[in-house]
């Protein structure tokens, strides 16, 4: 079951532009992941942050392990690249840490929710009990110096961009989204009905009589129906 779930998740995430993933040694339980920060307001904007993600054989009942392969200056990232984040902690409530079961891993979680939580963590650091004490102190006391250190991380991360890979940007993502929305309107009957302009009809303004079918047509009810259808950070 784990293999099937992971393969489905891998295929879905392969279509996203904010993450670049490959199987390591063709092993579905080991993923090379690169998180691409597309938020222009983020200190980590433009980064291509590579990581190794390893899954247990009983996934999704136990959480994956995640480790950045290049050091990142952040209060909740250890110097070895591992994370201090609730969603990767074993299921169930932990009284000692103060984490509720809702904050921790559960079988309902998926890889996408983990990666989104990690992206959110980058700019929403928890400094009260940091994994990297020095980074936490600097973020509180000298934010400009912290930003400068982070910018060094961003520039270093770009060395890991694969040859031929086109880095998405905030602007290109917006443009692609706008293009998709525009294309979807071309086949939206409500859009054309509301426009009230037959000259704009991409199908030539033909009236319904052009598509009438006689009683002997083979299209059944099912065919007609088908033709008319178109994860909080914590320590």
Residues belonging to the active site:
84
> Per the structure block, which two tokens stand in for 45?
């904007």
CB contact set of 190 (below 8 Å; sequence gap of 6+): none
Distances (CA, A) of 224 to 159, 185, 188, 205, 210: 53, 21, 17, 21, 16
Q: Write the DSSP string, 150-162.
A: HHHHHHHHGGGSP
Burial profile 97-110: b = 16 or more Cβ within 10 angstroms, e = fewer: eebeeebbbbeebb
In terms of Cα–Cα distance, which of 60, 45, 51, 68 is closest to 6?
Answer: 60
């Amino acid at each position: 079951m784990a293999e099937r779930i992971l393969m489905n998740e891998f295929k879905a995430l392969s279509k996203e532009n904010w993450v670049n993933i490959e199987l390591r040694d063709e092993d579905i339980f080991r993923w090379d992941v690169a998180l691409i920060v597309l938020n222009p307001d983020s200190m980590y904007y433009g980064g291509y942050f590579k990581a190794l993600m390893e899954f247990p054989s009983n996934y999704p009942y136990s959480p994956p392990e995640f480790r950045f392969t290049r050091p990142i200056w952040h209060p909740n990232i250890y110097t070895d690249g591992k994370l201090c984040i609730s969603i990767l902690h074993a299921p169930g409530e932990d009284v000692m840490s103060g984490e509720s079961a809702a904050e921790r891993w559960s079988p309902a979680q998926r890889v996408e929710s983990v990666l989104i939580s990690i992206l959110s963590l980058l700019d929403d650091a928890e400094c009260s009990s940091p994994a990297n004490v020095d980074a936490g102190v600097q973020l509180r006391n000298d934010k400009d110096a912290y930003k400068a250190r982070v910018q060094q991380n961003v520039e270093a991360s770009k060395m890991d961009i694969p040859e031929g890979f086109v880095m998405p940007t905030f602007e290109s993502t917006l443009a692609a989204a706008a293009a998709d929305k525009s294309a979807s309107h071309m086949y939206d009957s409500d859009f054309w009905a509301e426009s009230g302009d037959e000259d704009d009809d991409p199908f030539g303004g033909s009236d319904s009589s052009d598509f009438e079918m006689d009683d002997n047509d083979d299209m059944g009810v099912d065919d007609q129906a088908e033709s008319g259808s178109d994860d909080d950070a914590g320590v």
